[in-house]
Amino acid sequence: MVKKIFANIYIYLILFLMYLPILLLIVFSFTDSTNVGVWKGFSFDLFPRLFHNQEIMVALGNTIIIALISSIVSVLLGTTGAIGVFYSKKRNKRVVEAVTQIPVVNAEIVMALSLTVLFVFLGSMIFKTSLFSFHTLLIGHVCLSLPFVYLSVKPKLQQMDPNLYEAAMDLGCTPRRALVKVVIPQIIPGIISGFLLSMTLSLDDFIVTAFLRGPGLLSGDKAIETLSTLVQAKIKKGPIPPELRALTTILFLIVLTVVVIVAVYRNHFAKTFGTKKNLRRLRNVR
């Protein structure tokens, strides 16, 4: 009993320390002060000012566009890759899975530097121009999040009955129809998890963005500015704009809502799938 109490206290203490900085920013997003720690009275002024700050809106727009496009590309490539590896020979599967583990455990700075050297080489030796743009940044974000999509989809494929695909083929489905009607519905939770993980990795990435960005998107002819690069630039010059505290509150509430929705969907999917599975077993017994 005592051990259980201390274990609970330890867990809640760790969670409190983890979320304390976020809670602090949320609290001070409701006061109009330049620095965190100075309370000037309760106010919502930072929220309308946030949407009138052109610099932050451009950085937010760039961040969301890059995150959405890179996540969609990563999900398409990661899902098809996971399905292909799952149905491939054991030897090929081992090689691909070993290669996939490298970007996960590798330092992000190594990936950013290697891609930078590659694009500099291609630009100077082959294309004779600078290649750094939205496309190089997109490639970097896809390379960063693609292995995590693969690792999210792979367990769902392993949990799936491997005979379902072959059964669908025997019943007259084409390979494409069997994939869409049988395999994809079984691995949707893994696909959603991979998409959300890709979004998270892209939204808060700084190293890859700082190395691979170029002109484009909402920044026009200037280097693409995202939230991470904007905050880093503001820290160098002085205090962070107080409007960013309001943006932090909005982003936290959005993320919290998405997490709750995904958790509810997973529970519903598990209950529905489990009920159908039990009904099948009862029919087989009968």
Domain ranges for the chain, please list them: 56-160+190-240
Report the CATH architecture of 56-160+190-240. Orthogonal Bundle (1.10)
How sure is the predictor about 284, in pLDDT bands with cuts at 50, 70 and 90? very low
pLDDT, tens only, 100-111: 778 888 888 999
Q: Read off the pLDDT of each residue in 178-197 and give the average, rounded to a whole number.
A: 87
The position carrying tokens 């399905």 is 83
Q: Read off the pLDDT of each residue in 139-143 and give the average, rounded to a whole number.
A: 93
CB 179 within 8 A of CB 83: yes
pLDDT, tens only, 47-99: 999 999 999 999 999 999 999 999 999 999 999 988 888 888 877 778 877 78
Q: Read off the pLDDT of each residue in 250-268 and give the average, rounded to a whole number.
A: 82
Q: Phi and psi (nearest 5°) for 45?
A: -60, -30
CB 68 within 8 A of CB 200: no
Whether residue 159 has pLDDT greater than 90: no
pLDDT of residue 35: 80
- Average pLDDT value for the chain: 85
